[in-house]
Structure 1
């Protein structure tokens, strides 16, 4: 009895199949022409994609590409934090944050909740003269430049300095684990000012910026 039912189901599934003497061929059903095209595939992929647009690597050309790509990886949670290493079955001595020693070292903790990092962001907001930074996720970090006053150029500099800050935080974390770094907020913020000055002066049109003025206010030239 079971075999009869299975045969009936199989024959029913063939109800819409038309058998002809024509030669078999592949047909790309999403396109009326039946031909595959990159354009039709992109339209399908765009329609199926519901994820929010992540970090854009373009822009802020004065920031080295390695730093911008790093930000893209952080946004995707693709950097080797201690939590990420454990998730990939890699043995680590501790999952605690390397900078503050409190809380599991995830992307969100390291860049928004770590006590050392929070002190860096407080110094950053005072230096750039923007409202205090209250970040609850890395997405909030990526939006810091949108909350400041000024035109597109000013916001571009702030966005670049945010990247430099995240880069300095990660570098300090690695130096504390693998080198002799102290991982304190003063050293990290000092690295942000020096790296930001060096990269902006040598990789942009702002070649006449002055260190003393820069240390007081990095947007003094606008």
Structure 2
């Protein structure tokens, strides 16, 4: 086995331990059948035929037969091509009947090459992006310290995942990358170039980032607790005491954090300008669009949202929830 495939298999086993069935998520789509072992590969979706029908396998002369060798189509009719050391009888005949019944329910096209497909995507094509999302989703539901706070239904899953990583200090700020041995020109914040870039500095305490949070304070007419990442993302003001109001508040704070990080990345990777007023505008628009779409009973109005978003978290009747 080549080194590359060995590494892929090892990586797959590690993913399996995260609660995502990676190694068992691939299946064979049979075309001509010439590239698939009849007895050794799991091409039926029920395990290898060798393991299912051990007595027949013991009688099979051509143990390396392909699916094409065993399932032959003549004028659209299926013919089974067996080569036995002796003809099955007794329990072996029972296995043969069961095997024929299984094969009769399968419909190889016989018109194209065999190909591997992946259960993780709708079209069967494997992508690392979808796999990463599946792993993150599994971690979101399995990490005991953040399960109760990590999911907010008013915002997209990608934002929930980013917030979960932020709470666990697992976003790629320069201090964390340096700890992992990456050769960086500097560990200083790319925005202020004055302090090392930790998670809390990048999301809260950089002077440039703090201007965004002060803008959010003014917009909401509330003092946001930015003493720590956990405080900013998890603290709900005592004046908000009903479920939908809490969801709207939390969703907005999470959109703020997500937007700050996106703007930081554009600055680092695309040399885009940093403008805290533009970030505030983006937060207002994104939070309005996402909350309105996902919380139908929120009844947000754009003009009111821009002027006084706190209205929607302190007036429950306006959300249609009584």
TM-score, scaled relative to structure 1: 0.69
**Other-structure match for 1:149:** 240
Which residue of structure 1 lines up, in the alignment, with residue 294 of structure 2? 203
Bigger proportion of residues as strand? 2
More divergent stretch after superposition (150-159 vs 205-214): 205-214
Equivalent in the alignment of 2:306: 215
Aligned to 2:177: 85
Measured after TM superposition, the shift of residue 106 of structure 1 is 0.5
Aligned to 2:249: 158
Q: CA deviation at 1:214?
A: 1.2
2:59 maps to which residue?
none
Q: Is the contact between residue 152 and residue 247 of structure 2 (CA under 8 Å) also seen in structure 1?
A: yes
Structure 2 stretches lacking a partner, 5+ long: 1-142, 316-322
Name the CA shift for 1:187/1:78 in 2 (closer, same or farther; >3 Å): same
Q: Deviations over 1:23-74 (max 9, x none)?
A: xxxxxxxxxxxxxxxxxxxxxxxxxxxx983364554212001101111111
Structure-2 change in CA distance of 1:56 and 1:187 (3 Å): farther
Structure 1 distance, partners of 2:231, 2:194, is 21
The structural deviation recorded for 1:105 is 0.5
What residue in structure 2 maps to residue 115 of structure 1? 207
Distance 1:155 1:57 in 2: 11
Q: Who is 1:98 aligned against?
A: 190
Bigger RCO (CA 8 Å, 6+ sep): 1
Aligned in 2, Cα 1:177/1:203: closer, same or farther, shift over 3 Å? Answer: same
Q: Is the 8 A contact 1:84 1:106 kept in 2?
A: yes
Q: Tell me how far apart the structure 2 counterparts of residues 155 and 207 of structure 1 sit (CA, whole Å).
A: 12
* SS of match in other structure, 1:98: coil
- 1:178 shift after superposition: 0.9
Counterpart for residue 177 of structure 1: 268
The runs of 4+ residues in structure 1 deviating greater than 6 Å are none
**SS across alignment from 1:145:** coil
Contact 1:73–1:79 (CA under 8 A) maintained in structure 2:
yes
Change (3 A) 1:148 1:53: farther
Aligned residues: 171
Q: Secondary structure at the match of 2:236?
A: helix
CA offset at residue 177 of structure 1?
A: 0.7
Distance (Å, rounded) in 1 between the aligned partners of 2:161 and 2:177: 20
From 153, 175, 185, the equivalent of 1:61 is 153
The structure having more radius of gyration, on CA atoms, is 2
Q: CA deviation at 1:206?
A: 4.5
The 1:102–1:184 alpha-carbon spacing in structure 2 relative to 1, beyond 3 Å, is farther
Deviation at 1:186, TM superposition (A): 1.0
State the match for 1:74 in structure 2.
Answer: 166
Q: Which residue of 1 aligns with 2:280?
A: 189
Q: Tell me the residue number matched to 1:46.
A: none
Once the two structures are TM-superposed, the CA of residue 171 in structure 1 deviates from its matched residue by 0.1
Q: Could you tell me whether the CA contact under 8 Å between 2:192 and 2:208 is conserved in 1?
A: yes
CA gap of 1:186–1:52, structure 2 versus 1, over 3 A, is: same
